[in-house]
Amino acid sequence: MPIINETGIDMIQLRYPFTRNWLFYLLVFAYAILIGRMTFALWLGDGINVFASYSSAVSAAPLVVDANYVYWSKTCFLFLTMLLVSLNIDYRFAVGSGCFFWATSLILMFGTSPVLLTSAILGLLIAGIQVKRREVLDAR
Protein backbone atom coordinates (compact mmCIF):
# COMPACT_ATOMS: atom_id res chain seq x y z
CA MET A 1 0.00 0.00 0.00
CA PRO A 2 1.46 3.37 -0.98
CA ILE A 3 2.29 5.91 1.66
CA ILE A 4 0.29 9.14 1.34
CA ASN A 5 1.66 12.35 2.81
CA GLU A 6 -0.41 15.26 4.17
CA THR A 7 -0.82 16.75 0.67
CA GLY A 8 -2.39 13.53 -0.60
CA ILE A 9 0.49 12.73 -2.93
CA ASP A 10 1.98 9.24 -3.01
CA MET A 11 5.46 9.22 -1.53
CA ILE A 12 8.26 7.05 -2.84
CA GLN A 13 8.84 3.90 -0.85
CA LEU A 14 11.25 1.00 -1.10
CA ARG A 15 10.14 -2.06 -3.03
CA TYR A 16 11.64 -4.47 -0.49
CA PRO A 17 11.90 -4.06 3.31
CA PHE A 18 15.26 -2.46 4.06
CA THR A 19 16.13 -4.57 7.11
CA ARG A 20 15.89 -7.85 5.17
CA ASN A 21 17.39 -6.49 1.95
CA TRP A 22 20.11 -4.09 3.02
CA LEU A 23 22.74 -5.89 0.90
CA PHE A 24 20.63 -5.28 -2.21
CA TYR A 25 20.25 -1.60 -1.32
CA LEU A 26 23.98 -1.41 -0.57
CA LEU A 27 24.65 -2.61 -4.13
CA VAL A 28 22.22 -0.01 -5.52
CA PHE A 29 23.86 2.74 -3.44
CA ALA A 30 27.40 1.67 -4.38
CA TYR A 31 26.48 1.58 -8.06
CA ALA A 32 24.94 5.06 -7.77
CA ILE A 33 28.17 6.36 -6.22
CA LEU A 34 30.24 4.70 -8.96
CA ILE A 35 28.10 6.23 -11.72
CA GLY A 36 28.02 9.60 -9.96
CA ARG A 37 31.82 9.75 -9.70
CA MET A 38 32.19 8.63 -13.30
CA THR A 39 29.66 11.19 -14.52
CA PHE A 40 31.29 13.99 -12.54
CA ALA A 41 34.72 13.16 -13.94
CA LEU A 42 33.36 12.83 -17.47
CA TRP A 43 31.37 16.06 -17.64
CA LEU A 44 32.84 18.33 -14.97
CA GLY A 45 36.35 17.01 -14.40
CA ASP A 46 39.31 16.34 -16.62
CA GLY A 47 37.58 13.47 -18.40
CA ILE A 48 37.74 9.80 -17.57
CA ASN A 49 39.04 6.68 -19.21
CA VAL A 50 36.75 3.99 -17.84
CA PHE A 51 38.78 1.21 -19.42
CA ALA A 52 42.07 2.32 -17.85
CA SER A 53 40.88 0.91 -14.53
CA TYR A 54 40.82 -2.56 -16.13
CA SER A 55 43.37 -2.48 -18.91
CA SER A 56 47.11 -1.98 -18.72
CA ALA A 57 47.36 -1.42 -22.48
CA VAL A 58 49.80 1.32 -23.47
CA SER A 59 48.68 1.87 -27.07
CA ALA A 60 45.32 2.43 -28.72
CA ALA A 61 44.84 -0.92 -30.48
CA PRO A 62 45.10 -3.16 -27.37
CA LEU A 63 43.03 -0.64 -25.39
CA VAL A 64 40.21 -0.93 -27.94
CA VAL A 65 40.31 -4.72 -27.65
CA ASP A 66 40.16 -4.46 -23.85
CA ALA A 67 37.32 -1.92 -24.12
CA ASN A 68 35.39 -4.47 -26.18
CA TYR A 69 35.85 -7.06 -23.42
CA VAL A 70 34.58 -4.61 -20.80
CA TYR A 71 31.63 -3.65 -23.02
CA TRP A 72 30.81 -7.35 -23.63
CA SER A 73 30.84 -8.04 -19.91
CA LYS A 74 28.58 -5.09 -19.07
CA THR A 75 26.22 -5.95 -21.94
CA CYS A 76 25.96 -9.54 -20.70
CA PHE A 77 25.23 -8.21 -17.18
CA LEU A 78 22.34 -6.16 -18.55
CA PHE A 79 21.02 -8.97 -20.77
CA LEU A 80 21.30 -11.64 -18.06
CA THR A 81 19.40 -9.41 -15.63
CA MET A 82 16.69 -8.67 -18.22
CA LEU A 83 16.43 -12.35 -19.22
CA LEU A 84 16.07 -13.60 -15.65
CA VAL A 85 13.44 -10.96 -14.82
CA SER A 86 11.53 -11.81 -18.01
CA LEU A 87 11.55 -15.48 -16.90
CA ASN A 88 9.80 -14.45 -13.67
CA ILE A 89 12.93 -14.69 -11.53
CA ASP A 90 13.10 -12.45 -8.47
CA TYR A 91 14.68 -9.09 -9.31
CA ARG A 92 17.15 -9.26 -6.42
CA PHE A 93 18.36 -12.68 -7.54
CA ALA A 94 18.62 -11.48 -11.15
CA VAL A 95 20.65 -8.40 -10.22
CA GLY A 96 22.87 -10.37 -7.84
CA SER A 97 23.53 -13.01 -10.49
CA GLY A 98 24.21 -10.39 -13.15
CA CYS A 99 26.55 -8.48 -10.86
CA PHE A 100 28.40 -11.68 -9.98
CA PHE A 101 28.76 -12.56 -13.66
CA TRP A 102 30.00 -9.06 -14.56
CA ALA A 103 32.60 -8.91 -11.80
CA THR A 104 33.78 -12.50 -12.24
CA SER A 105 34.15 -12.20 -16.00
CA LEU A 106 36.23 -9.03 -15.61
CA ILE A 107 38.35 -10.65 -12.89
CA LEU A 108 39.04 -13.60 -15.20
CA MET A 109 40.00 -11.26 -18.06
CA PHE A 110 41.90 -8.52 -16.22
CA GLY A 111 42.65 -9.72 -12.69
CA THR A 112 41.18 -8.71 -9.39
CA SER A 113 40.57 -5.22 -8.06
CA PRO A 114 38.82 -4.05 -4.89
CA VAL A 115 35.71 -2.94 -6.82
CA LEU A 116 35.44 -6.19 -8.79
CA LEU A 117 36.08 -8.40 -5.78
CA THR A 118 33.52 -6.52 -3.69
CA SER A 119 30.99 -6.66 -6.54
CA ALA A 120 31.48 -10.40 -7.04
CA ILE A 121 31.06 -11.14 -3.34
CA LEU A 122 28.06 -8.82 -2.99
CA GLY A 123 26.36 -10.28 -6.08
CA LEU A 124 26.94 -13.83 -4.85
CA LEU A 125 25.62 -12.98 -1.37
CA ILE A 126 22.48 -11.31 -2.74
CA ALA A 127 21.71 -14.26 -5.02
CA GLY A 128 22.56 -16.73 -2.23
CA ILE A 129 20.23 -15.02 0.22
CA GLN A 130 17.38 -15.34 -2.26
CA VAL A 131 18.15 -19.05 -2.70
CA LYS A 132 18.27 -19.54 1.07
CA ARG A 133 14.94 -17.72 1.47
CA ARG A 134 13.49 -19.79 -1.39
CA GLU A 135 12.50 -16.58 -3.12
CA VAL A 136 14.20 -17.12 -6.48
CA LEU A 137 10.92 -17.39 -8.33
CA ASP A 138 8.96 -14.16 -8.20
CA ALA A 139 5.78 -14.68 -6.19
CA ARG A 140 3.75 -12.47 -8.51
- Report pLDDT for 46: 74
| pLDDT at 137 > cutoff 80 | yes
Max CA separation in the chain (angstroms): 60
Question: Who contacts 131 (Cβ-Cβ below 8 Å, separation ≥6)?
Answer: 93
Q: Across the chain, what does the average pLDDT equal?
A: 88
Is 119 or 51 the better-scoring residue by pLDDT? 119
- Determine the Cα–Cα distance for residues 88 and 82; give it in Å rounded to an integer: 10
Instruction: State pLDDT tens for residues 76-102.
Output: 999 999 999 999 999 999 999 999 999
Instruction: Examine the pLDDT at 5 and tell me if it is beyond 80.
Output: no
Contact 74, 6 (CB under 8 A): no
In the structure, what pLDDT confidence band is assigned to residue 60 with cuts at 50, 70 and 90?
Answer: confident
Confidence band (pLDDT; 50, 70, 90) for 139? low
Return the minimum-mean-pLDDT range out of 2-6, 31-35, 71-75, 113-117: 2-6
Q: Look at residue 1 in the predicted model and tell me its pLDDT.
A: 52
Q: How many residues belong to the chain?
A: 140
- 29-56 in b/e form (b: 16+ CB < 10 A) is eeeeeeeeeeeeeeeeeeeeeebeebbe
Q: What is the pLDDT of residues 16-55, one digit of tens each?
A: 999 999 999 999 999 999 888 888 888 887 766 677 777 7
